[in-house]
Amino acid sequence: MVGVAKERTPVLNARSLHFAGRHGDLVPPTDLEAAGGEVLLVAGDGQESRTALSLLLSGRMKPTSGSAGWGNGPQPRGPRRHSALIDSPAVNAPERHLRVRDLAAEDLSLIPAGSGRRPRPGAWLKDAGFAGLANSWTDELDGGDRFRLLTALALADPRVDLLVLDSPDRHGAGTGWLAQARDLAAAERALCVVAVVASIPAGWDGPSARLGNGPAPTEEMTA
């Protein structure tokens, strides 16, 4: 029997999302829509612009104009509470001097107490399959292990339904991050995964967008 695919309702909507930098638009007006259970790739030039867009989409920076909304009600919420920003350069990428066990302790300590019992780092590393990496320095990890570790730490917070990946392709095309991202989105938790990348990989058949694809801001929008 052939199964009928469920309609995936968009949960992240950006409308004319715009951030003005000191010498021009860091994030030109951008429209995009991301659905739970899917990976959306957003291509953009320049690391500063990609990081700025990642901060806006995860609710960690206020736009100059436009909006990023989470949810499907008449008044969508901001995405901050339900999002995790992953491996953003100069923002939350792991520091070179940290061992994996210390990174786990640091990240797990940030899970709000009201989200349930906070995992103990040693037990969490064992249960998540990272016990063998506990004493490794974070800069020793290959791209695949790095991606698995950082996304697993983010998802230890049960509130997280949106993963925003800042330039995962900077670690090389052979790291397998895209296949891992698709697996995460397709899992039972039905995550919304947005990856802000330098370019869309050849052969990509999923949803995609480009930074700066929205209408130019008007006086009303920028007021």
- How do the pLDDT tens digits run along the chain, 223 residues long? 344 444 556 689 999 999 998 888 999 999 999 999 999 999 999 999 999 999 999 999 999 999 999 987 667 788 999 999 999 999 999 998 999 999 999 999 999 876 667 789 999 999 999 999 999 999 999 999 999 999 999 999 999 999 999 999 998 766 689 999 999 999 988 899 999 999 999 889 999 999 999 876 554 443 3
2 is a domain residue: no
Per-residue burial over 45-55, b if 16 or more Cβ lie within 10 Å, else e, is eebebbbbbbb
Which residues span the domain enclosing 155?
10-222
Q: Please report, as a single letter, which amino acid is at residue 107.
A: D
What do you get for the CA distance between the two ends of the chain, in Å?
55
CA 180 centroid distance within chain: 13
Residue 54 and residue 27 in contact, taking contact as beta carbons nearer than 8 Å: no
* CATH at 110: 3.40.50.300
Give domain status of residue 91, yes or no.
Answer: yes
Radius of gyration of the chain (CA): 18
Identity of the amino acid at 79: P
4 within a domain of the structure (yes/no): no
Q: Which two tokens stand for residue 146?
A: 């790095």
- For residue 164, being part of any structural domain is answered with yes
Contact 1, 184 (CB under 8 A): no
| Bridge partners (DSSP) listed for residue 65 | 18
Query: Hey, what are 135's tokens?
Result: 């004493």
* Predicted local distance difference test score (pLDDT) of residue 24: 87
The predicted model scores a pTM of 0.90
User: Into how many domains does the chain fold?
Assistant: 1
The two three-digit tokens of residue 220, written as one number: 């009303």
Whether 5 is covered by a domain: the verdict is no
- Do the domain assignments include residue 3? no
Structure tokens belonging to residue 64: 């100059």
78 DSSP 8-state letter: P
Residue 126, token pair as written in the block: 């064992």
Exposure pattern of 113-133 as b/e (b: 16+ CB <10 Å)?
A: eeeeeebebeebbeebebeeb
Question: Is position 1 within any domain?
Answer: no
Cα(180)–Cα(175) distance, integer angstroms: 9
In a domain, 184, yes or no: yes
